[in-house]
Amino acid sequence: MTRNSTSLSFVASQAQEAQEARNELIAIYGNTDPEEADVIVALGGDGFMLQTLHTTMNSGKRVYGMNRGSIGFLMNRYDTQNLPARIETAVENAFRPLEMTTSDTSGQERRALAINEVYLFRQSYQAAKLRVSVDGRVRLEELICDGLLLATPAGSTAYNLSAHGPILPLEAPLLALTPVSAFRPRRWRGALLPNKVTVEIEVLEAEKRPVNAVADNTEVKSVISVRIAESIGLSARILSDPDHSWSDRILAEQFDY
Protein backbone atom coordinates (compact mmCIF):
# COMPACT_ATOMS: atom_id res chain seq x y z
CA MET A 1 0.00 0.00 0.00
CA THR A 2 1.36 3.42 -1.00
CA ARG A 3 1.38 6.09 1.71
CA ASN A 4 0.64 9.72 0.89
CA SER A 5 0.12 12.92 2.81
CA THR A 6 -3.33 13.53 1.31
CA SER A 7 -5.82 11.05 2.74
CA LEU A 8 -8.21 9.62 0.15
CA SER A 9 -11.64 8.05 0.40
CA PHE A 10 -12.82 6.03 -2.61
CA VAL A 11 -16.52 5.94 -3.39
CA ALA A 12 -18.13 4.32 -6.44
CA SER A 13 -21.42 3.92 -8.22
CA GLN A 14 -23.09 0.51 -8.31
CA ALA A 15 -21.77 -0.19 -11.82
CA GLN A 16 -19.47 -3.20 -11.92
CA GLU A 17 -16.70 -1.24 -13.66
CA ALA A 18 -16.79 1.42 -10.93
CA GLN A 19 -16.79 -1.14 -8.11
CA GLU A 20 -13.83 -2.97 -9.63
CA ALA A 21 -11.94 0.30 -9.96
CA ARG A 22 -12.62 1.13 -6.32
CA ASN A 23 -11.22 -2.23 -5.18
CA GLU A 24 -8.14 -1.78 -7.37
CA LEU A 25 -7.41 1.71 -6.04
CA ILE A 26 -7.96 0.74 -2.40
CA ALA A 27 -5.44 -2.09 -2.86
CA ILE A 28 -2.87 0.48 -4.04
CA TYR A 29 -3.58 3.51 -1.87
CA GLY A 30 -5.62 2.31 1.07
CA ASN A 31 -8.90 3.92 2.07
CA THR A 32 -9.87 6.53 4.63
CA ASP A 33 -13.34 7.01 6.10
CA PRO A 34 -15.12 9.77 4.11
CA GLU A 35 -15.54 11.94 7.20
CA GLU A 36 -11.79 11.87 7.87
CA ALA A 37 -10.48 12.07 4.30
CA ASP A 38 -9.02 15.17 2.67
CA VAL A 39 -10.27 14.20 -0.80
CA ILE A 40 -13.19 12.06 -1.95
CA VAL A 41 -12.36 10.12 -5.12
CA ALA A 42 -15.61 9.45 -6.99
CA LEU A 43 -15.68 6.60 -9.50
CA GLY A 44 -18.57 6.44 -11.95
CA GLY A 45 -20.29 8.77 -14.39
CA ASP A 46 -21.66 12.28 -14.28
CA GLY A 47 -24.77 11.27 -12.36
CA PHE A 48 -22.69 9.75 -9.58
CA MET A 49 -20.45 12.82 -9.49
CA LEU A 50 -23.49 15.04 -8.95
CA GLN A 51 -24.65 12.75 -6.13
CA THR A 52 -21.21 12.96 -4.52
CA LEU A 53 -21.10 16.75 -4.80
CA HIS A 54 -24.51 16.96 -3.14
CA THR A 55 -23.34 14.62 -0.36
CA THR A 56 -20.20 16.66 0.30
CA MET A 57 -21.88 20.05 0.02
CA ASN A 58 -20.44 22.51 2.57
CA SER A 59 -18.31 19.81 4.18
CA GLY A 60 -15.05 21.34 2.94
CA LYS A 61 -14.25 18.05 1.21
CA ARG A 62 -12.73 18.23 -2.26
CA VAL A 63 -14.02 15.76 -4.85
CA TYR A 64 -11.84 14.26 -7.56
CA GLY A 65 -13.75 12.17 -10.08
CA MET A 66 -12.50 9.50 -12.46
CA ASN A 67 -14.67 8.22 -15.26
CA ARG A 68 -16.04 4.72 -14.85
CA GLY A 69 -19.43 5.58 -16.38
CA SER A 70 -21.00 6.31 -19.74
CA ILE A 71 -20.38 10.05 -20.30
CA GLY A 72 -17.94 11.48 -17.81
CA PHE A 73 -17.96 15.16 -18.76
CA LEU A 74 -17.50 16.03 -15.09
CA MET A 75 -14.83 13.37 -14.58
CA ASN A 76 -11.10 13.04 -15.10
CA ARG A 77 -9.63 10.13 -17.05
CA TYR A 78 -9.21 6.89 -15.15
CA ASP A 79 -5.63 5.96 -14.31
CA THR A 80 -4.30 4.13 -11.27
CA GLN A 81 -0.80 5.61 -11.57
CA ASN A 82 0.46 8.53 -9.46
CA LEU A 83 -2.97 9.45 -8.14
CA PRO A 84 -1.73 11.49 -5.14
CA ALA A 85 0.48 13.57 -7.46
CA ARG A 86 -2.42 14.16 -9.86
CA ILE A 87 -4.62 15.31 -7.02
CA GLU A 88 -1.87 17.55 -5.65
CA THR A 89 -1.63 19.44 -8.97
CA ALA A 90 -5.37 19.44 -9.72
CA VAL A 91 -7.28 22.66 -10.36
CA GLU A 92 -10.03 23.43 -7.84
CA ASN A 93 -13.39 25.00 -8.63
CA ALA A 94 -16.04 25.86 -6.05
CA PHE A 95 -19.69 26.02 -7.07
CA ARG A 96 -22.65 27.58 -5.38
CA PRO A 97 -25.79 25.57 -6.10
CA LEU A 98 -29.18 26.92 -7.01
CA GLU A 99 -31.82 26.68 -4.30
CA MET A 100 -35.25 25.67 -5.58
CA THR A 101 -38.34 26.29 -3.44
CA THR A 102 -41.60 24.85 -4.73
CA SER A 103 -45.27 24.97 -3.76
CA ASP A 104 -47.50 22.22 -5.09
CA THR A 105 -51.23 21.83 -5.58
CA SER A 106 -51.66 20.37 -2.08
CA GLY A 107 -50.06 23.45 -0.51
CA GLN A 108 -46.85 21.66 0.46
CA GLU A 109 -43.56 23.56 0.21
CA ARG A 110 -40.31 21.77 -0.64
CA ARG A 111 -36.69 22.81 -1.09
CA ALA A 112 -33.92 21.22 -3.13
CA LEU A 113 -30.47 22.10 -4.47
CA ALA A 114 -29.18 22.03 -8.04
CA ILE A 115 -25.58 22.14 -9.20
CA ASN A 116 -26.53 21.80 -12.89
CA GLU A 117 -30.01 23.21 -13.37
CA VAL A 118 -33.58 23.60 -12.20
CA TYR A 119 -36.15 22.77 -14.84
CA LEU A 120 -39.90 22.61 -15.21
CA PHE A 121 -41.67 20.33 -17.68
CA ARG A 122 -45.22 19.49 -18.62
CA GLN A 123 -46.86 16.34 -17.22
CA SER A 124 -49.52 15.84 -19.87
CA TYR A 125 -50.23 16.18 -23.57
CA GLN A 126 -50.97 19.88 -23.07
CA ALA A 127 -48.17 22.44 -23.11
CA ALA A 128 -47.24 24.20 -19.88
CA LYS A 129 -48.36 27.79 -19.41
CA LEU A 130 -45.96 29.79 -17.22
CA ARG A 131 -45.52 33.34 -15.92
CA VAL A 132 -41.87 34.30 -15.36
CA SER A 133 -40.67 37.03 -12.98
CA VAL A 134 -37.11 38.20 -12.30
CA ASP A 135 -36.46 40.00 -9.00
CA GLY A 136 -40.18 40.58 -8.55
CA ARG A 137 -40.82 42.02 -11.99
CA VAL A 138 -42.86 40.04 -14.51
CA ARG A 139 -40.77 39.52 -17.63
CA LEU A 140 -42.97 36.98 -19.43
CA GLU A 141 -46.67 37.29 -18.74
CA GLU A 142 -47.40 34.01 -20.48
CA LEU A 143 -44.92 31.44 -21.81
CA ILE A 144 -46.45 28.40 -23.50
CA CYS A 145 -43.86 25.65 -23.81
CA ASP A 146 -42.86 22.07 -23.07
CA GLY A 147 -40.56 23.27 -20.31
CA LEU A 148 -38.23 25.91 -18.92
CA LEU A 149 -34.84 25.57 -17.27
CA LEU A 150 -32.40 27.75 -15.35
CA ALA A 151 -28.83 26.50 -15.72
CA THR A 152 -25.59 27.32 -13.94
CA PRO A 153 -22.32 27.61 -15.89
CA ALA A 154 -21.45 24.10 -14.65
CA GLY A 155 -24.73 22.79 -16.04
CA SER A 156 -24.83 24.86 -19.21
CA THR A 157 -23.35 22.01 -21.27
CA ALA A 158 -25.92 19.48 -20.04
CA TYR A 159 -29.71 19.70 -20.57
CA ASN A 160 -29.39 23.42 -21.31
CA LEU A 161 -27.18 22.77 -24.34
CA SER A 162 -29.54 20.06 -25.61
CA ALA A 163 -32.34 22.64 -25.44
CA HIS A 164 -30.19 25.01 -27.58
CA GLY A 165 -29.25 27.21 -24.64
CA PRO A 166 -25.92 29.08 -24.48
CA ILE A 167 -22.72 27.58 -23.08
CA LEU A 168 -21.48 29.70 -20.17
CA PRO A 169 -17.79 30.00 -19.21
CA LEU A 170 -17.26 28.55 -15.77
CA GLU A 171 -16.11 31.87 -14.34
CA ALA A 172 -19.08 33.83 -15.73
CA PRO A 173 -21.41 35.28 -13.03
CA LEU A 174 -24.41 34.30 -15.16
CA LEU A 175 -27.34 31.91 -15.36
CA ALA A 176 -29.01 30.71 -18.55
CA LEU A 177 -32.82 30.82 -18.68
CA THR A 178 -33.74 28.54 -21.58
CA PRO A 179 -37.15 27.44 -22.89
CA VAL A 180 -37.87 23.93 -24.15
CA SER A 181 -39.97 23.99 -27.34
CA ALA A 182 -41.45 27.44 -26.80
CA PHE A 183 -44.77 27.87 -28.64
CA ARG A 184 -45.64 31.38 -27.47
CA PRO A 185 -43.88 33.76 -27.65
CA ARG A 186 -42.50 31.79 -30.58
CA ARG A 187 -39.45 33.96 -31.10
CA TRP A 188 -38.28 33.95 -27.49
CA ARG A 189 -35.06 31.97 -27.22
CA GLY A 190 -34.22 32.58 -23.58
CA ALA A 191 -32.16 35.05 -21.55
CA LEU A 192 -28.83 35.44 -19.78
CA LEU A 193 -29.31 36.58 -16.20
CA PRO A 194 -26.94 37.78 -13.46
CA ASN A 195 -26.35 34.98 -10.97
CA LYS A 196 -27.62 37.14 -8.08
CA VAL A 197 -31.22 37.39 -9.30
CA THR A 198 -34.24 35.53 -8.02
CA VAL A 199 -36.40 33.85 -10.64
CA GLU A 200 -40.03 33.06 -9.84
CA ILE A 201 -42.18 30.89 -12.10
CA GLU A 202 -45.94 30.60 -11.70
CA VAL A 203 -47.79 27.73 -13.29
CA LEU A 204 -50.95 29.03 -14.97
CA GLU A 205 -53.95 26.69 -15.29
CA ALA A 206 -52.13 24.20 -13.05
CA GLU A 207 -55.00 21.70 -12.89
CA LYS A 208 -55.50 21.66 -16.64
CA ARG A 209 -51.79 21.87 -17.49
CA PRO A 210 -49.86 20.08 -14.68
CA VAL A 211 -46.14 20.74 -14.38
CA ASN A 212 -43.30 19.03 -12.51
CA ALA A 213 -40.10 20.71 -11.28
CA VAL A 214 -36.65 19.12 -10.97
CA ALA A 215 -33.47 20.26 -9.21
CA ASP A 216 -30.71 17.93 -10.47
CA ASN A 217 -32.11 14.55 -9.34
CA THR A 218 -34.90 15.79 -7.03
CA GLU A 219 -38.34 15.93 -8.67
CA VAL A 220 -41.46 17.60 -7.31
CA LYS A 221 -44.78 16.81 -8.98
CA SER A 222 -47.69 19.14 -9.68
CA VAL A 223 -46.09 22.44 -8.71
CA ILE A 224 -47.94 25.74 -8.82
CA SER A 225 -44.93 28.00 -8.18
CA VAL A 226 -41.16 27.71 -8.20
CA ARG A 227 -38.64 30.15 -6.74
CA ILE A 228 -34.97 29.84 -7.74
CA ALA A 229 -31.95 31.72 -6.39
CA GLU A 230 -28.26 31.01 -6.03
CA SER A 231 -27.33 29.76 -2.57
CA ILE A 232 -25.43 32.24 -0.42
CA GLY A 233 -24.06 29.86 2.20
CA LEU A 234 -23.52 26.56 0.38
CA SER A 235 -20.75 25.40 -1.94
CA ALA A 236 -19.26 22.25 -3.44
CA ARG A 237 -15.58 21.76 -4.34
CA ILE A 238 -14.38 19.79 -7.36
CA LEU A 239 -10.90 18.98 -8.66
CA SER A 240 -9.87 18.54 -12.28
CA ASP A 241 -6.59 17.70 -14.00
CA PRO A 242 -4.81 20.90 -15.16
CA ASP A 243 -4.56 19.63 -18.74
CA HIS A 244 -8.30 18.95 -18.81
CA SER A 245 -9.87 21.48 -16.46
CA TRP A 246 -13.57 22.25 -16.33
CA SER A 247 -12.93 25.63 -17.92
CA ASP A 248 -11.09 23.94 -20.80
CA ARG A 249 -13.89 21.40 -21.25
CA ILE A 250 -16.57 24.06 -21.41
CA LEU A 251 -14.50 26.13 -23.83
CA ALA A 252 -13.91 23.06 -26.03
CA GLU A 253 -17.66 22.41 -26.21
CA GLN A 254 -18.08 25.74 -28.00
CA PHE A 255 -15.76 24.64 -30.81
CA ASP A 256 -17.01 21.06 -31.04
CA TYR A 257 -18.90 20.43 -34.24
Q: Which residues are annotated as a binding site?
A: 46-47, 116-117, 146, 154, 157-162
- The reply to whether 46 belongs to the active site is yes
Residues, the chain: 257
| Cα 33 from chain centroid (whole Å) | 25
57/98 Cα distance (integer angstroms): 12
Which residues participate in the annotated binding site for NAD(+)? 46-47, 116-117, 146, 154, 157-162
- Given the residues 33, 38, 46, 104, the one annotated as active site: 46
By three-state DSSP, how is residue 183 classified?
coil
134/218 Cα distance (integer angstroms): 23
Residue 1: C-alpha distances to residues 6, 30, 79, 85 (Å): 14, 6, 16, 15
Identify the sign of the CA torsion 72, 76, 77, 83: negative
φ, ψ dihedrals at 61, nearest 5°: -75, 140
Residues annotated as part of the active site: 46
